[in-house]
Amino acid sequence: MAETLRALGHNVELYDADRPPDLDVSRFEAAIVGSPIHAPRGFARSIVRFVREHRDWLDRIPSAFFSVGLAVLSKTSDGRAQTLAIVDDLMKETGWRPHRVELIAGALPYSKYNFLVRFVLRRISAAEGGDTDTSRDYEYTDWAAVDRFAAEMAGAGKVGEAGAETRAGGQAREASIWRPGAGPIPG
């Protein structure tokens, strides 16, 4: 996302919410906040904290949230609906209403996990009709869609001189959803 926004001529700064700097958010004209889903509790606590602390600012500017989780790929259940329910919980908990929400599939890097985590993830993946060969990694990222999302945020949100992307985990994308009743992102 950051590369796409930079290619479109925008200044972008990336921040890890797990190690937040002393950040003057007022100098940013737009924000993209993202987090992986951490079962069973939802999103990274650092992201929840960031959104709570900066909710008024996020509500005043064009803002988006992206969620990274494999549930959106489920072949046995409605993973999109399950993911949206978790996103809704975040919005209720923080009071933030981003202009756009992206549901991102992410990756399944079995090789990066220890035996126990691989075992658990393989069982979950099997139950959901997913890939189970733990000798290899799986990338489900639709990078062209990630680029489109960033370009749409830049165009619709008029990111202008500076944009901020805060993340806690990897990036990938599966589908986009505009907040009901929000209409296009205000310019």
Q: Model's pTM, two decimal places?
A: 0.78
| pLDDT tens string 21-45 | 788 888 888 999 999 987 767 898 9
pLDDT for residue 80: 86
Rounded to a whole number of angstroms, the CA Rg of the chain reads: 17
Q: Which two tokens stand for residue 31?
A: 């924000």
Counting DSSP H helices and E strands in the chain, the numbers are 5, 9
Instruction: Tell me where in the chain the CATH 3.40.50 domain(s) lie.
Output: 2-106+141-172
Name the burial class of residue 66, with classes exposed (0-12), middle (13-18) and buried (19+) by CB atoms within 10 angstroms of its CB.
buried
Type of residue at 65: F
Q: Is the pLDDT of residue 158 over 80?
A: no
Topology of domain 2-106+141-172 in CATH is Rossmann fold (3.40.50)
Q: Which of 79-88, 117-126, 138-147 has the lowest mean pLDDT?
A: 138-147
Which of 127, 122, 123, 93 lies closest to 109 in space, CA to CA?
Answer: 122
Kindly give, in sequence order, each residue whose CB lies less than 8 Å from that of residue 161, ignoring residues fewer than 6 positions away: 10, 11, 29
Which of 133, 137, 183, 125 lies closest to 157 in space, CA to CA?
Answer: 183
pLDDT for residue 168: 38
